[in-house]
Amino acid sequence: MVDDVYVNSRSNSYNYPIFREPEPIEVPTLEEVLDELDPIPAYSLLIGLCEDGIPLILDLTDPRAGAFLIVSDDGSTNSTLLYNILTGAYKINTEEEVNLHLISPEADDLINLHKQPNLKICLNPARPEIEIVIEEMVNLVHQRQGTREVQPIHILAVDRLDRLFQTLSMEAQLWLNWLLEFGTEVGLWIIATIPSNLIKKTHYGLIEGFPSRILGPIQFPRMTRYLSGMSKEKLNDLVLDEQFLVKTDSGLNPIWMLQTED
């Protein structure tokens, strides 16, 4: 496990990755990678596989990466990546180590997740109790700020951030922004998805609360520059439905998405 999040970098300089036409490879499954890594440290989150075959692992005890936003033109691929990351979370970590809370339009259909003791909440964004959930997260962070308690780690996963945003009152939107700013310092991580073509100016304040991005192909040049600071041609070099670009303060790194056997 390396500092911050990711790669075997000897410097903290912000370097753009070298993009090239990816050679066809057989990407292992999530389970195959976990078997190869076994034992993997607790409080870890497997994001994907780097181009050199090294797993990209997030240390959930190190808050520097902050919240993650998954964005591409294909909303279903965004969702698949999010669910696969959550699958890795419960396969790596016990209920005492990591708790999962999911808000998703597909909440009722995620049977394998529902079976896991790590999963504490799984709700459709249209449910009226959503704002209560967010308020409880705010109370948790307030409490932990006073005690400096950070365990168990909590992951609040939001599939289709645009749909959640539609249902929230102005007060709840402010709560969510507050959680993005202060949550990771006390063990509350937020990982969300949004299709790039559904991002509106009203979302910008919320989106800018995500310091880390996981980006797939995005056709609209202005949106590409806004989310990554790069030209759209760079993101178009990624393999559709298979590759993403992870952007954090420590750099930009292409990854392969790991499919799960579940």
The pLDDT mean for the chain works out to 87
Which domain does 174 fall in, by range? 61-232
Q: Is 9 exposed, middle or buried (0-12, 13-18, 19+ CB in 10 A)?
A: middle
pLDDT-wise least confident of 25-39, 120-134, 184-198: 25-39
- CATH code assigned at 164: 3.40.50.300
Q: Is residue 35 part of a domain?
A: no
The answer as to whether 147 is a domain residue is: yes
Looking at the domain assignment, is residue 27 inside a domain? no
Tell me: pLDDT of 134 over 60: yes
Residue 254 resides in a domain = no
Q: Is residue 260 part of a domain?
A: no
Confidence tier at 232 by pLDDT (50, 70, 90): low
Please indicate, yes or no, if residue 245 is contained in any of the structural domains.
no
Residue 227 lies in a domain: yes
Q: Measured between alpha carbons, how far is 133 from 104 in angstroms, rounded to an integer?
A: 13
Q: Is residue 159 assigned to a domain?
A: yes
pLDDT in tens, 173-231: 999 999 999 999 999 999 999 999 999 999 999 999 999 999 999 988 889 888 988 76
Count of domains observed in the chain: 1
pTM above 0.85, yes or no: yes
Measured CA distances, 257 to 48, 80, 82, 240 (Å): 5, 9, 10, 11
Q: Give per-residue pLDDT as tens, 80-100.
A: 999 999 999 999 999 999 999
